Amino acid sequence: MLRRLSIDARVMGKVPAIPRALSRGAFTLADARRHGLDRWNLQGLSWRRLGPQTYALARLDETPLLKLEAASRRLPPGAAFSGFTAAWLHGLEVEPCDPIELTVPSPAGISTRAGLVVRRRALGKDEVVRRRGLPATCMLRTIRDLCVRLSLTEAVAIADMALHAGKLDRQDLVAAVAAPNPGVRVLRRVLEHAEPGAESPMETRLRMLLVLAGLPRPEAQVPIRDRLLRVIGRPDLYYRDQRLGLEYDGGTHRDTLAEDNRRQNRLLDAGVRLLRFTAVDIFNTPDHVIGLVRAALAA
C-alpha cells in the first residue's frame, strides 16, 4: 500500500516538461530516460503506452503510422515490415496493423506476440526499402510473400492493386516468375490473371469469381462511346461481343449514386446491358452471380 501511494505521488506530483524530441512520434523508454524522464513519469495522463517500452504523447492520434513507428523503435538490424504492413507502407489500401507483420533475420531477439507476427527469413539488401520513413520489403518481395499465403483470388487482388497504382510493373512479375523464387508456381497463376486496369479489389474478386467458374474473362474499364464517339461510361467489367457490362456497387454517396444512375442510363441508351452486384452478392451468393452472368452471356 505504501509503495502504491509513493508511485501515485510521483505520478501526481510535479509534471516534467515534455521534451520536444519526444513530442513528434513514438519513442522507447530508453529514449525517455535520455531526456530526463523515467517509467513513472510515463504513467501520467500526458502519455500513451503503445507497446512494450514504447510510448507517445496522449494527444497524438493513434494512427497506423504511429503504431508502426512504435514497433520500428525495437527492430533488430536487418528487419523490415512485410506482408500487408509493407503493402500499406507502399500505399496500397489494406489493413496494416491487424496484425503488424515483420520479417527478421534468424536469430533475432523479437518474436510473435499479440498484434505482431514475426517471420524469420533472410532479406537481400535490394529487398528492403524505406517507405514513410520505415523499413519495408520492396514491392515485388511484398507481393511475392503475400501471393504464397493468400488464395488465388486474393493474391490477384493485391497484385492488381500494385499494378494499378504503378507500384509494380508487369515485367517485374514476369522476371519473378522466371527466377527460382519460392512460390513461383503461384506467381505464374497470378501473372496469368493480373489486370492493371482493375480499380478496386472487389472488381478483381468479381472478375475472378467468373473466370474460376469457367466463364470468359471480361475486360476492365473499357471506354464506351455514343454515336458521336463521346465516352459515356466505363463499366467495371465488360464483355465486348455481348455488349454486357458488369458493375460493382460499393454503396456510394448520394451524389455519386446520382451520377452513376445518369451514366447507367447513357450506357443503356447506347445498347449496353448492365448487371450490378454488391459485396453481399459476391461473398454470400456467388452461384447466383455466376448464373446471372452466364444467362446474360447466352441471351
pLDDT at residue 79 is higher than 50: yes
pLDDT at residue 209 is higher than 50: yes
Write out pLDDT tens, residues 110-132: 888 889 999 999 899 999 999 99
CB-based contacts of 260, cutoff 8 Å, min separation 6: 247, 252
Instruction: Return the half-sphere exposure (C-beta side, CA atoms, 13 A cut-off) of residue 181.
Output: 24
The grid coordinates of residue 175 equal 522476371
| pLDDT bucket at 252, cuts 50 / 70 / 90 | low
Average the pLDDT over each of 19-23, 123-127, 180-184, 195-199 and give the range with the smallest value: 180-184
Average the pLDDT over each of 28-37, 60-69, 76-85, 154-163 and give the range with the smallest value: 28-37
Q: What is the pLDDT of residue 243?
A: 96
Listed residue (115, 123, 118, 187) closest to 156, CA to CA = 187
Question: Of 117 and 17, which is predicted with more confidence?
Answer: 117
Q: What is the pLDDT of residue 5?
A: 36
Average pLDDT over residues 60-84: 93
* Domain boundaries, given as residue ranges, for the chain: 10-65, 75-196, 209-298
Q: What is the pLDDT of residue 6?
A: 39
CB-based contacts of 27, cutoff 8 Å, min separation 6: 21, 54, 55, 56, 73
pLDDT at residue 136 is higher than 80: yes
Write out pLDDT tens, residues 234-246: 999 999 999 999 9
Query: Can you give the pTM of this predicted structure?
Result: 0.85
Average the pLDDT over each of 198-202, 215-219, 255-259, 268-272 and give the range with the smallest value: 255-259
Average pLDDT over residues 125-150: 96
Instruction: Return the half-sphere exposure (C-beta side, CA atoms, 13 A cut-off) of residue 184.
Output: 9
| pLDDT bucket at 7, cuts 50 / 70 / 90 | very low
Phi, psi values for residue 105, rounded to 5°: -70, 160
Instruction: Please provide the DSSP assignment of 115-176 as one string.
Output: TEEEEE----GGGEEEETTEEEE-HHHHHHHHHHHS-HHHHHHHHHHHHHTTSS-HHHHHHH
Listed residue (17, 136, 114) closest to 69, CA to CA = 136
Q: Which residue type sits at 162?
A: A
| pLDDT bucket at 183, cuts 50 / 70 / 90 | confident
Roughly what angle, to the nearest 10 degrees, separates helices 139-149 and 152-164?
Answer: 160
Write out pLDDT tens, residues 281-299: 999 999 999 999 999 999 9
Q: What is the pLDDT of residue 107?
A: 75
Phi, psi values for residue 118, rounded to 5°: -115, 125
Write out pLDDT tens, residues 32-70: 899 888 888 888 888 999 888 888 999 999 999 999 999
Could you give the 3-state DSSP secondary structure of residue 235? coil
Q: Are 170 and 159 in contact (CB under 8 A)?
A: no
209-298: CATH number = 3.40.960
Exposure letters 211-233 (e unless 16+ CB within 10 A, then b)? beeeeeebebbbebeeeeeeebb
| pLDDT bucket at 15, cuts 50 / 70 / 90 | low
